[in-house]
Amino acid sequence: MKNNTSSNIQRKDLVTGSCKSGKTTEDYSQICSSKAPSYLEELYKKVYNSELEAVMMITPEEGLLLSTLVSLRAPKVVLELGCFVGYSALWIVEGLEYNKSNPGHLYTIEISKEIADFARKNIENAGKSHFVDVINSPSQPILDSWDRSKKIDIAFLDANKNGYIGYYNSLINNSLLADDGIIVCDNTLFHNRVSPLHKQYNGQAIENPSSNSEHIYNFNLHVAKDNRTEQVLIPIFDGITIIRKKKQN
Ligand SMILES: C[S@@+](CC[C@H](N)C(=O)[O-])C[C@H]1O[C@@H](n2cnc3c(N)ncnc32)[C@H](O)[C@@H]1O
């Protein structure tokens, strides 16, 4: 597994100004938000105390948002691209469990076999395996071969940032997403490096994007220009965008 120095990055380092100014909006948001269930808190700490790139996990507050969206939508099918250790997957399951009679199923995709095995173990230890299939694969082939009759109610995009446009296009162009489905995308502010690009490139797409922030900038623009969908970018932690198809008149 990766031993990356960026695992030393503090959550706060990713949020504007938070390192400099002491108590911040994010700190206050944490104080006022519900706490994670203890098994999720333990997993979060375990990963932060490991060699893994823990900062890749969503925060507990994003987890709560995700779980709330899932519980409200009561999906049959959820697809997550980018499983990592299974932390966000378990938050999704938290939401699925609200729909007791028909809790729905999560398919979560992870490109690394070693990490996918680790995620499976974490999900098993939490006693939630019956809700989740961890699939060891790159994401795009999964979308390309997706059974089109099995509509996706919620898609959570959190894998490689240079793949977001392709994932979005597959979901929308190939009608894999249910008409009343949503796409939830993580890191759409990407370390606060995306919004400065909007000014720098005057709202035009970057021709040959090379960094994650440039890929996300192009993705945000791509979504904003698509008349078939509407979206809201929520500035929580590293940015979460929620996209839905526009209603038909
Ligand atoms: C940001 S992490 C996901 C974090 C996870 N959603 C969470 O919050 O706990 C991204 C993960 O996507 C995986 N990944 C990278 N490229 C991928 C691809 N093309 N398809 C599927 N997974 C990929 C990485 O190995 C990594 O584990």
CATH number reported for the structural domain that contains residue 218 in this entry: 3.40.50.150
Tokens in use for 25? 């909006």
Residue 140 within a domain: yes
- Closest ligand 1 atom to residue 85 Cα is 9
In 3-state terms, what secondary structure has residue 85? coil
Tokens in use for 14? 């990713």
Q: β-strands 240-245, 229-234: how paired?
A: antiparallel
Q: What φ, ψ does residue 136 adopt, rounded to 5°?
A: -85, 100
Residue 30 within a domain: no
Pair 96, 131: CB distance under 8 Å:
yes
Residue 135 within a domain: yes
Pocket-forming residues, ligand 1, beta carbon under 6 Å: 56-58, 81-82, 84-85, 87-88, 109-112, 115, 138-139, 158-160, 163
Percent of the chain with pLDDT over 70: 91
Of 223, 81, 182, 85, residue with least CA distance to 141: 81
Residue 111 within a domain: yes
Query: How remote is the CA of residue 211 from the centroid of ligand 1, in Å?
Result: 16
- Split into its structural domains, the chain has a count of 1
Residue 107 within a domain: yes
Residue 33 within a domain: no
Query: How remote is the CA of residue 132 from the centroid of ligand 1, in Å?
Result: 16
Residue 31 within a domain: no
Query: How remote is the CA of residue 112 from the centroid of ligand 1, in Å?
Result: 8
Find the domain containing 104 and state its range: 70-245
The DSSP 8-state label assigned to residue 59 in this structure reads: P
Q: In degrees, to the nearest 5, what angle opens at C-alpha 18 toward C-alphas 15 and 21?
A: 160
Neighbours of 207 (CB within 10 A): 8
Residue 183 within a domain: yes
| CA 201 – CA 184 distance, rounded (Å) | 25
pLDDT at 175 over 80: yes
Considering only 25-34, 108-117, 144-153, which range has the smallest mean pLDDT? Answer: 25-34
**Which residues have C-beta within 8 Å of that of residue 66, sequence separation ≥ 6?**
58, 88, 91, 92, 95, 156, 184
Residue bearing the CA closest to ligand 1, atom 16: 160
Average pLDDT, the chain: 92
Query: How remote is the CA of residue 158 from the centroid of ligand 1, in Å?
Result: 6
pLDDT at 17 over 60: no
Query: How remote is the CA of residue 156 from the centroid of ligand 1, in Å?
Result: 11
Q: What φ, ψ does residue 243 adopt, rounded to 5°?
A: -120, 140
pTM across the whole model: 0.93
Using one digit for the tens of pLDDT, what is the confidence trace for 186-195? Answer: 999 999 999 9
Q: In degrees, to the nearest 5, what angle opens at C-alpha 204 toward C-alphas 213 and 222?
A: 65
